[in-house]
């Protein structure tokens, strides 16, 4: 069958027709032979029965009127080659004559039959014919017909049949060839045309349609129409291909130049495409995340479970919450850094499923701007609200002292018994005038600050006298309030000569504002103000009270303009609400910062810092600043001096002898480390920087490994920029430069050691 399947249709038709024709011929021949056999047998039996009857009639005459000798004269029986055997019996069943040709044995039973009979046995024809004369039985004749005779007749018939069949086959082959050419020719030609069209892509070829109205004509017509359709589609495809190529080039350029990340994912949300912007946004290359689920690349880990639930909806129905409209969420990049993103998901058919085109836009800056706009809007609304409240409050604050001033002035101008109250009225008028003046000053200050016109004038001042002045002034005010609270003051340095550089007027204004604010919100307990060293180059001022305190969500509000207006719930707490705002702005102008710590119901502490220049005093974080410190104050202290120069050692011995301090000596840094480790009671180390064996920097670092508390003061001949920072970084508390003046050395030692706890 494979051979047949591989044959062209022309051969298939020819083979099919030949096979059908041969089968038909064979069947016809077999049928003819079968018919022949039937009629042949019938013919044979009737023919030889007649012949046997003729011979029986002749023998009956001989037996009736002749002798047995006459029977021998029947040469016709003996010489007739059509018979193999002839047997003649008389009426007594005695064999009277026998002819046996070729010594063929007699096969018929000798049981005589008196009735005629014709039959075949073992393909041999036998005839039995009774010999009758005038209806009298005279005997019987047996004939066996020669097989050769039968075969000869049959062979002649078969040759005739085969000859006729062969002629029929030849005629049929001729007819088949003609029909095959007629039927298969157009199909073969169509096949060759199709092959040529496919090989050369000649879809514009037109077929020559054969005449007629049969299936072949229909096939040609339909194929010609199909070619026309294909040609049109090819033309459209070429146009579409060019357009697609053009669109693809544009799409490629757009994707490369797009600022937003564009990702294409299949129905499992596995990434199939990643543009340049997506690579930049995520930090991954396309090869790194190809076929990776989208949510493993962009969705933060703690958000993936919720995302996956929506994905299951997406897989089931092709849509979910994320496909309905653009949404904003947090996304993550390769470095696990989160950013605000706007994501749009568009679905489309993709490989027998639903795919997704995902656009991701980094909106971090936009969100920041939105938050800033919202904050600005809220601030503007709040400012507008506070301004309205401020104007109402200003009306009240101005009218209250003005009412007292005008009212009591009128009372003083009237004659009568007011003279005895004159002093009291004048005091009220003076106090109201001062309140009004403070109010006007606050308004002027805040206006100057907002306009950027408020200037500060820094100068060297003695800080402690200023602190004492503020304490006395506020104490007098406290006495007038009749509130049972205590005013306290603490200073980091006791010396009246402690010098800083700032604007003294603004410093007083800040502290008075903070103390005055504390007085408004306290009924009992204490108010404490003072300063201490925050760093070697910064002072930390504070005002602490045990008043009502503030909730945490109000702490930022109090420094805003008119912020106090929102907090006031006590009619006795008067004021513009500008004091804290002005104080914070003044602190910033002086180079510091201000903040507050508060617990509602327990009190508040306001802090502000100011820059400090240690060069104005021999001082450090312990507050060693004085020109009056005496050498006799170091008795009982242990000082280690690391110095390698003999002249310097002699000098230091003479100076330190008057202090009555216990002095230890080291010739190099290594010895200094060893002595410091063996003597844990050392209070201060004077560390020379340039020494043999081990320098002062290294020695200081090693000492700090086992002793964090001991005071180390570097003594160095270096005076370059950055030397101070270098010694502090090594672990020193302070440094002094050579040549060392006795006064500076003694003040430094006294300041550090007398403040050490």
Q: Tell which wins on pLDDT, 522 or 22.
A: 522
Kind and range of the H or E element at 526?
A: strand 525-535
Q: Tell which wins on pLDDT, 351 or 225.
A: 225
Per-residue confidence band for 712, with pLDDT thresholds at 50, 70 and 90: very high
Round the CA-based radius of gyration of the chain to a whole number and report it: 69
Kind and range of the H or E element at 422?
A: helix 422-451
The one-character DSSP state at 303 is G
Nearest to 639 by CA among 681, 678, 682: 682
Q: Tell which wins on pLDDT, 162 or 114.
A: 162
Share of the chain above pLDDT 70, in %: 69
What's the confidence (pLDDT) of residue 621? 42
Residue showing tokens 């020819």: 14
Q: Tell which wins on pLDDT, 560 or 2.
A: 560
Instruction: State the average pLDDT over residues 119-135.
Output: 78
Residue 101 CA to its chain's centroid (Å): 113
* Residue 757 pLDDT greater than 50, yes or no: no
Q: Tell which wins on pLDDT, 202 or 138.
A: 138
Quick check: 668 and 688 in contact, CB under 8 A? no
What's the confidence (pLDDT) of residue 566? 46
CA 742 to each of CA 655, 662, 679, 738, 746: distance values in angstroms, whole numbers, following the listed order: 7, 18, 27, 11, 6
Q: What is the pTM of this model?
A: 0.38
What's the confidence (pLDDT) of residue 625? 43
Q: Tell which wins on pLDDT, 175 or 106.
A: 175
Query: Using CA atoms, how far apart are residues 425 and 563, in angstroms rounded to an integer?
Result: 34
Please tell me whether the peptide bond between 739 and the residue prior to it is cis, using omega within 30 degrees of 0. yes
What's the confidence (pLDDT) of residue 562? 56
Instruction: State the average pLDDT over residues 169-186.
Output: 69
Tell me the pLDDT of the chain averaged across its residues.
Answer: 76
What's the confidence (pLDDT) of residue 630? 45
State the fold for domain 455-615: Heat Shock Protein 90 (3.30.565)
Per-residue confidence band for 672, with pLDDT thresholds at 50, 70 and 90: very high
What's the confidence (pLDDT) of residue 453? 74
pLDDT tens for 99-118 read 776 554 555 554 445 566 77
Architecture of the domain spanning 9-166:
2-Layer Sandwich (3.30)
* Residue 373 pLDDT greater than 90, yes or no: no
* Residue 206 pLDDT greater than 90, yes or no: no
* Residue 668 pLDDT greater than 90, yes or no: yes
- The DSSP string of 356-385 is EEEEEEE-HHHHHHHHHHHHHHHHHHHHHH
Per-residue confidence band for 601, with pLDDT thresholds at 50, 70 and 90: confident
Instruction: State the average pLDDT over residues 353-361.
Output: 76
* Residue 32 pLDDT greater than 70, yes or no: no
Nearest to 51 by CA among 124, 156, 123, 144: 144
State the fold for domain 258-362: Beta-Lactamase (3.30.450)
* Residue 529 pLDDT greater than 90, yes or no: yes
The C-alpha angle 449, 453, 455, rounded to 5 degrees, equals 90
Per-residue confidence band for 677, with pLDDT thresholds at 50, 70 and 90: very high
pLDDT tens for 563-592 read 554 444 444 455 556 778 888 999 999 999
What's the confidence (pLDDT) of residue 116? 62
Per-residue confidence band for 159, with pLDDT thresholds at 50, 70 and 90: confident
What's the confidence (pLDDT) of residue 620? 44
Instruction: State the average pLDDT over residues 431-459.
Output: 74
pLDDT tens for 461-498 read 999 989 988 888 788 776 666 677 889 999 988 778 88
> φ and ψ at 638, to 5 degrees?
-115, 125
Say if 9-166 and 630-755 have the same CATH topology: no
* Residue 78 pLDDT greater than 70, yes or no: no
The domains of the chain are located at 9-166, 209-253, 258-362, 455-615, 630-755
- Could you tell me how many helices (H) and strands (E) the chain has, helices first? 22, 22
- The DSSP string of 319-339 is --HHHHS-EEEEEE-TTS-EE
What's the confidence (pLDDT) of residue 341? 83
Instruction: State the average pLDDT over residues 410-421.
Output: 68
What's the confidence (pLDDT) of residue 528? 94
Highest CATH level, class, for 630-755:
alpha beta
């Amino acid at each position: 069958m494979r051979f047949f399947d591989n044959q062209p249709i022309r051969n298939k038709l020819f083979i099919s027709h030949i096979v059908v024709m041969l089968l038909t011929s064979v069947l016809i021949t077999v049928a003819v032979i079968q018919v022949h056999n039937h009629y042949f047998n019938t013919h044979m039996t009737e023919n030889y029965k007649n012949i046997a009857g003729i011979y029986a009639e002749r023998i009956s005459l001989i037996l009736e009127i002749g002798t047995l000798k006459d029977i021998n004269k029947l040469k016709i029986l003996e010489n007739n080659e059509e018979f193999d055997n002839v047997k003649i019996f008389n009426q007594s069943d005695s064999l009277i004559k026998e002819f046996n040709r070729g010594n063929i044995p007699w096969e018929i039973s000798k049981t005589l039959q008196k009735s005629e009979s014709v039959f075949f046995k073992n393909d041999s024809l036998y005839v039995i014919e009774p010999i009758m004369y005038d209806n009298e039985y005279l005997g019987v004749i047996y004939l066996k017909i020669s097989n050769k005779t039968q075969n000869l007749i049959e062979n002649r018939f078969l040759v005739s049949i085969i000859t006729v069949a062969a002629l029929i086959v030849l005629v049929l082959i001729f007819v088949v060839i003609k029909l095959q050419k007629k039927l298969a020719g157009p199909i073969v030609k169509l096949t060759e045309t199709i092959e040529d069209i496919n090989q050369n892509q000649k879809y514009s070829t037109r077929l020559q349609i054969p005449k007629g109205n049969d299936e072949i004509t229909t096939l040609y017509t339909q194929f010609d129409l199909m070619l026309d359709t294909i040609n049109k589609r090819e033309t459209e495809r070429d146009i579409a291909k060019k357009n697609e190529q053009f669109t693809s080039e544009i799409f490629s350029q757009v994707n490369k130049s797009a600022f937003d990340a564009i990702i294409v994912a299949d129905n499992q949300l596995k990434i199939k495409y990643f543009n340049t912007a997506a690579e930049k946004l995520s930090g991954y290359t396309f090869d790194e995340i190809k076929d990776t689920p989208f949510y493993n690349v962009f969705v933060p880990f703690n958000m993936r479970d919720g995302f996956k639930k929506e994905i299951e909806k997406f897989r089931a129905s092709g849509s979910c919450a994320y496909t309905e409209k653009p949404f904003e969420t947090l996304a993550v990049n390769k470095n696990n850094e989160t950013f605000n993103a706007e994501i749009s998901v568009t679905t489309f058919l993709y490989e027998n499923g639903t795919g997704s085109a995902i656009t991701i836009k980094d909106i971090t800056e936009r969100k920041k701007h939105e938050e800033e706009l919202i904050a600005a809007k809220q601030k503007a609304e709040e400012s507008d609200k506070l301004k309205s409240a401020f104007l109402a409050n200003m009306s009240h604050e101005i009218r209250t002292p003005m009412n007292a001033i005008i009212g009591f002035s009128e009372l003083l101008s009237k004659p009568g018994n007011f003279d005895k109250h004159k002093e009291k009225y004048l005091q009220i008028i003076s106090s109201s005038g001062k309140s009004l003046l403070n109010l006007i000053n606050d308004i002027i200050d805040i206006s100057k600050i907002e306009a950027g016109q408020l200037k500060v004038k820094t100068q060297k001042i003695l800080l402690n006298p200023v602190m004492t002045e503020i304490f006395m002034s506020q104490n007098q005010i406290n006495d007038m309030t009749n509130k049972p609270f205590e005013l306290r003051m603490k200073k980091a340095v006791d010396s009246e000569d402690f010098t800083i550089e700032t604007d003294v007027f603004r410093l007083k204004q800040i502290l008075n504002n903070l103390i005055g604010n504390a007085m408004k919100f306290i009924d009992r307990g204490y108010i404490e103000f003072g300063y201490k060293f925050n760093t070697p180059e910064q002072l930390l001022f504070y005002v602490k009270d045990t008043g009502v305190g503030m909730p945490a969500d109000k702490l930022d509000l109090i420094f805003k303009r008119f912020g106090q207006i929102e907090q006031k719930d006590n009619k006795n707490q008067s004021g513009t609400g500008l004091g804290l705002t002005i104080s914070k702005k003044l602190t910033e102008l002086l180079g510091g910062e201000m903040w507050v710590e508060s617990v509602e119901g327990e009190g508040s502490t306001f802090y502000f810092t100011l820059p400090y220049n240690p060069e104005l005093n021999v001082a450090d974080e312990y507050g060693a600043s004085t020109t009056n410190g005496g050498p006799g104050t170091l008795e009982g202290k242990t000082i280690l001096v690391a110095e390698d120069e003999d002249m310097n050692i002699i000098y230091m011995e003479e100076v330190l002898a008057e202090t009555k301090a216990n002095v230890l000596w080291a010739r190099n840094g290594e010895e200094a480390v060893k002595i410091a480790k063996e003597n844990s009671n050392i209070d201060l180390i004077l560390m020379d920087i340039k020494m043999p064996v081990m320098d002062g920097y290294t020695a200081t670092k090693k000492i700090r490994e086992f002793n964090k508390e001991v005071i180390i003061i570097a003594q160095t001949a270096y005076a370059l920029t950055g030397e101070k920072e270098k010694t502090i970084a090594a672990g020193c508390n302070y440094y002094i430069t050579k040549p060392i003046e006795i006064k500076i050395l003694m003040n430094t030692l006294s300041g550090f050691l007398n403040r050490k706890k």
